[in-house]
């Protein structure tokens, strides 16, 4: 039950915005009474917190080469953009509409952004990049930039543009970037 409530709240919060969705709407969507919802979550704020916590997905461990993992991020982004339900980064959206004064929201948003940066950073260290800290930050800028741009433009190709920029930044840091798909398809 708690699960049902949470996944419905997730869908509606993300799709229409947190402030735009009332608890009545969520309960009605599931077909339960409002009382039941409040039996599982003492307040809407707690439901919001649970929603954001549920969005905090760890980056999947992978045995692929670091470069592929990094660049693959942008491929996944592009698929995400092209999918029907995409509506930007839930954390950025939450901070935008709830305000930075809401410390609990801001905290989890910062934690999420930082976790992704650290994921980039560790991969870059594996590649022997000197300034892994700086470059990982720059990569997150490309990620969040493409998300914001796609949110307003609805143009999934923003992910490809970000990927191209990422390749340049990686190459500039001394990382060998091979587009293995095309080079393997046409090695001449």
Residues that bind DNA (CB under 7 A): 1, 21-25, 31-36, 38-40, 42-45
| Stretch of residues binding a copy of itself (CB under 8 A), selected from 30-38, 43-51, 59-67, 106-114 | 106-114
Q: Which residue's CB is nearer to DNA, number 97 or number 164?
A: 97
Looking at residue 57, the DSSP 8-state letter turns out to be P
Nearest distance, CB of residue 98 and DNA, angstroms: 12
Nearest distance, CB of residue 97 and DNA, angstroms: 12
Per partner kind, with CB cut-offs from 5 to 8 A, the member of a copy of itself, DNA, none near residue 79 is none
Please list, in sequence order, all residues whose beta carbon lies within 8 angstroms of the beta carbon of residue 155, skipping any fewer than 6 positions away. Answer: 81, 149
Per partner kind, with CB cut-offs from 5 to 8 A, the member of a copy of itself, DNA, none near residue 143 is a copy of itself
Under the binding rule (CB under 8 A), the answer on residue 110 touching a copy of itself is yes
**Inter-residue contact 162 to 171 (CB < 8 Å):** no
Q: Which residue's CB is nearer to a copy of itself, number 80 or number 88?
A: 88
Per partner kind, with CB cut-offs from 5 to 8 A, the member of a copy of itself, DNA, none near residue 42 is DNA
Q: In the chain, which ranges are continuous DSSP H helix?
A: 2-16, 23-30, 34-40, 44-55, 66-82, 90-98, 103-126, 132-153, 157-172, 180-185
| Stretch of residues binding a copy of itself (CB under 8 A), selected from 45-53, 83-91, 122-130, 174-182 | 83-91
| Stretch of residues binding a copy of itself (CB under 8 A), selected from 25-33, 57-65, 108-116, 175-183 | 108-116
Residue 163: which of 84, 88, 78, 86 has the closest Cα?
Answer: 78
Rg (CA), the chain: 19
**Inter-residue contact 118 to 152 (CB < 8 Å):** no
C-beta atoms surrounding 184 within 10 Å = 9
Per partner kind, with CB cut-offs from 5 to 8 A, the member of DNA, a copy of itself, none near residue 25 is DNA
């Amino acid at each position: 039950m708690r699960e049902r409530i949470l996944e419905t709240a997730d869908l509606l919060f993300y799709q229409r915005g947190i402030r735009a969705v009332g608890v009545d709407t969520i309960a009605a969507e599931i077909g339960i009474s409002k009382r039941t919802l409040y039996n599982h979550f003492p307040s809407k704020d707690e439901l919001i917190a649970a929603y954001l916590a549920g969005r905090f997905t760890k980056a999947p461990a992978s045995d692929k080469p670091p470069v592929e993992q990094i660049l693959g991020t942008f491929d996944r982004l592009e698929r995400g953009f092209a999918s029907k339900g995409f509506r930007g980064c839930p954390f950025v959206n939450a901070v935008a509409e709830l305000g930075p004064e809401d410390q609990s929201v801001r905290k989890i948003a910062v934690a999420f952004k930082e976790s992704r940066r650290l994921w980039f950073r560790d991969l870059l260290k594996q590649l022997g990049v000197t300034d892994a800290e700086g470059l990982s930050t720059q990569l997150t800028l490309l990620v969040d930039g493409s998300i914001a741009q796609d949110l307003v433009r609805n143009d999934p190709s923003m992910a490809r543009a970000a990927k191209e920029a990422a390749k340049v930044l990686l190459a500039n840091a001394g990382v060998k970037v091979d587009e293995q798909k095309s080079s393997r398809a046409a090695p001449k």
